[in-house]
Structure 1
Amino acid sequence: MATRSSLLAATILALSYSASATASYSLVKSYQGSSFFDDWTFYGSFDNLTNGDAIFVNSSVATSSQLAYVNSAGNAIIKVDNTSTVLYNDKRNTVRIASKDRFNVGSVWVTDMLHVPYGCSVWPAWWSQAPGWPWDYTPILIWFFPRASIPSSVSSSASTIDTSTLGTPVGNWPAGGCTVDTYFAAQNLIFDITLCGDFAGSASVFASTCSGTCYTDYVVGTGANYATAYFEVQYVRIYGTSSAVVVSSSSSKSGAMAAVRSGSWTQMGLSAALVILATAY
């Protein structure tokens, strides 16, 4: 079983990034504590998005089944049902939530995850999308920091954040001639955990780390396989300009930001991470 990592996994998606530019952002939205789930929408349907063997339950089922709640430490728990017995041809309950607010290019998203979901058949993600996705989502920039080397601009109580203090990214996929504002609308933040599906259930992907068959050997049965299939989130904070938070759901633009998915956490042995995504000008 993986233990809490001493690493900070800082993932930053920056659009039209300039390494020499100074980009400072102020706190505009926070999801934290007892009100964490107040501003999220529960999907409330089976996984018809990635063909997972999962049902993304509504808010009432998530609450009554303790699949989405705030624990005694004040952290948000988002989890897969690990107590029910699932019969063959049925799906297992889990959670997908999307933020009610949407956030424009020019915002920075920070989340402190004390635990991330892992295990055979588990396909979690923290990501974003706008109406009408998918679309081209490059460039992507990625940083990873040891916790002892977290930049001062990324403290847990920071009212501002300066992306210029993050240094050179370890991954950089430039967009070429992509015009950010043409292809990206304001984004909804999403947490979800599906099971098997198009990626995690693919025979070649599944067999690389697990034995047996994804659905019949893991989803079906008592649910004991999913004791570690949960997020524990201390907070999600959004930094940006005064126009970063967008309430309106209407837009003609699309665009999906790349997801932070189980492959990166599992392969690096991470069960805890502070993750940063920036859609920086």
Structure 2
Amino acid sequence: MKAATLASVVSLASAAIAAQLNLIKEYAGSSFFDDWDFYGHWDDLNNGNIIYVNQSDSASLAYVTPSGNAVIKIDNTTTVPNNDPRNSVRITTKDFFEIGTIWIMDVVHAPYGCSVWPSIWTKGTLWPEEGEIDIIEGVNLMTYNQMALHTGVDCTMPLDNTDQTGTALLSNCNTTSGCTVKENTPNNYGAAFAQNGGGVWALQFDVSGIFIWFWQRGNVPASVTAAITSLDADTSSWGKPSASWASSSSCNIAQHFQAQQMVMDITACGDWAGVPSIYGSTCGNTTTNACYLNNVVGNGANYDTAYFEVASIRAFSANAATSNATSSGSAGPAATSSGASSGASTATSTVTTTPAAGTGSTGASGGTGSGAAALVTPVSLGVAVGLVSLLSLLML
């Protein structure tokens, strides 16, 4: 009898692991910008030479292309005089996403170029105590994406991590740079990423850890390509993640990370891209203010490649779909699209509230966000609880 019960436990556990996650939020198509807040302030977080526009001024910098992809960009058409900043975009989701969420992001083009500092990342309400996850980030003419976690004190990750394909660079998550991982998959950043038609990222935010996968165009797993209204919770077919930060005694993920908002932004120069030695390492000039004077000032042609083009961002969890999680019908993450490097298009309608203060990778200010959290039960936790409950019956 006990053997039969144990077999039932194994069967139920297998079914739970193979369960479908539900779409809880989709950013795609003409409604892409509807549930984001525009920052509407100068870049006081990373000290970039940028003004982040508000929604009412964003028509030429945040819009949806005729093919249905969302674009945010640095202004590449205005002539900026010396001592002035250039306009750009920073947007933050109105919703928070709890532990147990998997995001799938299909990105056709990511910003690059001298002085350019783009990022797609997530943050908790309080920084860094409630955590930050950097999914896409780089500066200037870097050829690789750099992923990272940022936390409060007492969170370290191993440098000799064989559970990821990326290379761990720093282990202490409570430093300015965080615990960073270099992406090693080909065509993952910069001009090579753009020329290859972009790629797809997955971020798993779980009690067992935080994991990021990247697939270049053409190598996206079938289960990810099919993820429109639901996602297979079994990630075993995805291969090793690019970055793996497993929860452990040296960093308990559930203690260091709370519900996260997603942020997309592009700044120029600032505390990373504008450091003379860093700027000069790929852009060839280490003199003071070279980053600003050689790029931000002038007619803006240097920013023709400084834009994100995103086909879709979808969030999945074990919970039932929220009321605003209906699919737009957009294709899954295998789709490609035409470019949108310059010129203005008709912007989608957007909703602006008081901007949520936040932080970039090197920022130091926290803030609050708006919108209700999408509450999620982690799949791994749900399986564990179910197993404990069922196994306890065997002891009766």
TM category, shorter: 0.7 to 0.9
- Does structure 1 residue 75 correspond to structure 2 residue 69? yes
Q: Deviations over 1:190-214 (max 9, x none)?
A: 1100000101111121111103310
Query: Is there any run of 5+ residues in structure 2 with no aligned partner, and where?
Result: 1-16, 130-150, 152-172, 174-178, 180-208, 325-357, 363-377, 381-396
Corresponding position of 2:318? 241
What amino acid is the match of 1:164? Answer: S
- Does structure 1 residue 102 correspond to structure 2 residue 179? no
In the aligned structure 2, how far is the partner of 1:68 from the partner of 1:44?
A: 13
Corresponding position of 2:309? 232
Corresponding position of 1:219? 296
- Does structure 1 residue 143 correspond to structure 2 residue 220? no
Contact in 2 for aligned 1:30/1:237 (Cα 8 Å): yes
- C-alpha displacement of 1:153: 1.5
Corresponding position of 2:386? none
Contact in 1 for aligned 2:46/2:360 (Cα 8 Å): no
Contact in 2 for aligned 1:107/1:244 (Cα 8 Å): no
What is the aligned residue count? Answer: 233
Contact in 2 for aligned 1:130/1:256 (Cα 8 Å): no
In the aligned structure 2, how far is the partner of 1:223 from the partner of 1:103?
A: 36
* Structure 2 counterparts to residues 161-180 of structure 1, below 5 A: 161=231, 162=233, 163-177=235-249, 178-180=251-253
> Which of 195, 204, 221 is 2:277 aligned to?
204
In the aligned structure 2, how far is the partner of 1:211 from the partner of 1:140?
A: 36
* Structure 2 counterparts to residues 48-67 of structure 1, below 5 A: 48-63=44-59, 66-67=60-61
Provide the TM-score with structure 1 as the length reference.
0.75
Corresponding position of 2:268? 195
Provide the TM-score with structure 2 as the length reference.
0.54
- C-alpha displacement of 1:114: 0.9
What amino acid is the match of 1:70? Answer: V
More off after superposition, 127-136 vs 189-198 = 127-136
CA, structure 1 residues 239+189, in 2 after alignment: closer, same or farther (shift >3 Å)? same
State the identity %. 47
Q: Deviations over 1:140-177 (max 9, x none)?
A: 53434344332221015532223232122344344432
CA, structure 1 residues 23+152, in 2 after alignment: closer, same or farther (shift >3 Å)? same
Structure with the larger strand share:
1
Could you say which structure has the larger radius of gyration? Answer: 2
Query: Is there any run of 5+ residues in structure 1 with no aligned partner, and where?
Result: 1-20, 248-254, 260-278
Contact in 1 for aligned 2:247/2:253 (Cα 8 Å): no
